Amino acid sequence: MNMTIVRFAPSPTGRIHIGNARTAILNWLMALKTGGQFVLRYDDTDTARSTREYADGIAADLDWLGIRPARVEWQSKRFARYDELADRLRAAGRLYACYETADELDRRRKRQMARGAPPVYDRAALKLTDEERRALEAEGRRPHWRFKLDGRMMPWNDLIRGPQAIDTTGLSDPVLVREDGTYLYTLPSVIDDIDFAVTHVIRGEDHVVNTAVQIEITQALGGNVPNYAHHSLLTGADGKGLSKRLGSLSIASMREGGLEPMAVVSHAALLGTSDNIHPCADYTELVEGFGLDKLSRAPARFDEAELSQLNAKLLHHLPWEAVKDRLPSASEEFWLAVRGNIGKLADTAGWEMVVSGPINAVVAPEDRDFIRDACGLLPASPWDGTTWKSWTEAVKVATGRKGKALFMPLRLALTGLDHGPELAQLLPLIGRDRALERLS
């Protein structure tokens, strides 16, 4: 059997966002599940807008998400190959020259719609004589090149959407080469899929119609048609598209905002599937449960608040080994004490201040005598996980206070906050000297 080969093909004209990342993650899971390869292909045929800075940024984003490409390809380095196969299509009569301007095509479409006809290109260029072509070129016109579709029903079995079929009779012959000789997305993408032996193309459903065209081109070039799988696109929590907010939803902004990569991965991988969204510490569980058949055709709703909650849940269960390199000044005891009270790893700084820094202790006038009595009952060092219980039991007996009336004044005096980690864990970290100072 052939190895599964998938590809992720961003254009380095900007940074990737959560929608792009979801596509990359699904492809990566497919590669891991099947023992296959993940190809990162930069669609940088738009040399004016593509930059190395954006490409490096995309590579950094994928690395942060834990995606390790088996190979990296650049379309800008393959123009000679595209030229070669474009010439083959011209020789076969499948790629033909057209001379209409954008305005002429627009007027033609409007006339067709006014007559109730579909606005499909009428192949007028195929009727031009050699003399007419020379005359047009003498005017300074340069041709763009269209692929001549077979005009037939094109079926395929979509691995997410099920059986699909598009009648290419209802489509305009697609432009593959612009007047200036540069390539649109379609032809280089097909050639790359053939040359790199891509077996599965997993991408957004906005490419469904393109699939029929790409299959025809693949067949015209004698290539193997890959398996196609088109996943639903993301909407916001309100059901509306994310396009206007993609800047704030870039992977770079999520990383800079302190989110954990596996929180983003877990959310993107499970969104729109039959599985409950939950945090996964690494890819192992996601790979075991991965299947394209679990993806729904319904739009997947991305909720930033849900991602933040998922990030917190992930941190709440991470072991010390997973974070110790990122918290060089902390200890395992500190991490186990505070992890249940943070939303992002950076929040540990606040709890470090509570443990060892100056705080604004809060003592209500009516609690001053109580705090003085509690201070006098502080156990001797060393302190451990049992100190809080033994101390509060002694305070309860001495003062008659219990429940919230006992615990809350002590928490406020010791931490300056009315919430936080269990004091049984926090108190040994604060230590007797600092506790005595705060209670006094």
Where in the chain do CATH 1.10.1160.10 domains reside?
236-319
Q: What is the pLDDT of residues 299-313, one digit of tens each?
A: 999 999 999 999 999
Rounded-to-integer distance, Cα 94 and Cα 87, Å: 10
- Which residue, among 284, 336, 403, has the nearest Cα to 32 in the 3D structure? 284
* Neighbour-count burial for 309-319, b at 16+ CB within 10 Å, e otherwise: bbbbebbeebe
Rounded-to-integer distance, Cα 287 and Cα 269, Å: 10
- Which 3 state secondary structure label does DSSP give 273? strand
Quick one: pLDDT at residue 245?
55
Q: Are strands 71-74 and 95-98 parallel, antiparallel or unpaired?
A: unpaired
In this prediction, residues 139-157 reach a mean pLDDT of: 96
Q: What is the pLDDT of residues 89-105, one digit of tens each?
A: 999 999 999 999 999 99
List Cβ neighbours of 215 (8 Å cut-off, separation of 6 or more).
154, 156, 225
Rounded-to-integer distance, Cα 256 and Cα 258, Å: 5
Instruction: Answer whether residue 247 shows pLDDT above 90.
Output: no
The correct CATH number of 236-319 out of 3.30.70.2740, 1.10.1160.10, 1.10.760.10, 3.40.190.10 is 1.10.1160.10
Termini Cα distance of the chain: 75
CA–CA distances in Å: residue 217 to residues 43, 154, 213: 18, 12, 6
In this prediction, residues 243-267 reach a mean pLDDT of: 87
Rounded-to-integer distance, Cα 356 and Cα 391, Å: 21
Rounded-to-integer distance, Cα 297 and Cα 274, Å: 11
Quick one: pLDDT at residue 18?
95
Half-sphere exposure of residue 345: CA atoms within 13 angstroms, side-chain side: 21
Which pair of tokens denotes residue 216? 């025809």
For a pLDDT cut of 90, what percent of the chain falls above it? 93
Where in the chain do CATH 3.90.800.10 domains reside?
81-177
List Cβ neighbours of 285 (8 Å cut-off, separation of 6 or more).
none
Where in the chain do CATH 3.40.50.620 domains reside?
5-72+185-233
Q: Are strands 144-147 and 5-8 parallel, antiparallel or unpaired?
A: unpaired
In this structure, which amino acid lies at residue 6? Answer: V
Quick one: pLDDT at residue 39?
98
Where in the chain do CATH 1.10.10.350 domains reside?
332-439
Q: H-type helices in 329-431, by residue range?
A: 332-338, 348-356, 368-376, 387-399, 404-415, 423-430
Q: What is the pLDDT of residues 307-350, one digit of tens each?
A: 999 999 999 999 999 999 999 999 999 999 999 999 999 999 99
Rounded-to-integer distance, Cα 424 and Cα 99, Å: 80
Q: What is the pLDDT of residues 193-219, one digit of tens each?
A: 999 999 999 999 999 999 999 999 999
- Which residue, among 234, 241, 225, 224, has the nearest Cα to 158 in the 3D structure? 225
**What is the reported pTM?**
0.92
Q: How confident is the model at residue 117 (pLDDT cuts 50, 70, 90)?
A: confident
CATH architecture of 81-177: Alpha-Beta Complex (3.90)
Fold of 5-72+185-233: Rossmann fold (3.40.50)
User: What is the 8-class DSSP label of residue 250?
Assistant: B
Mean of pLDDT over the chain: 95
**CATH 3.40.718.10 is the classification of domain 332-439:** no
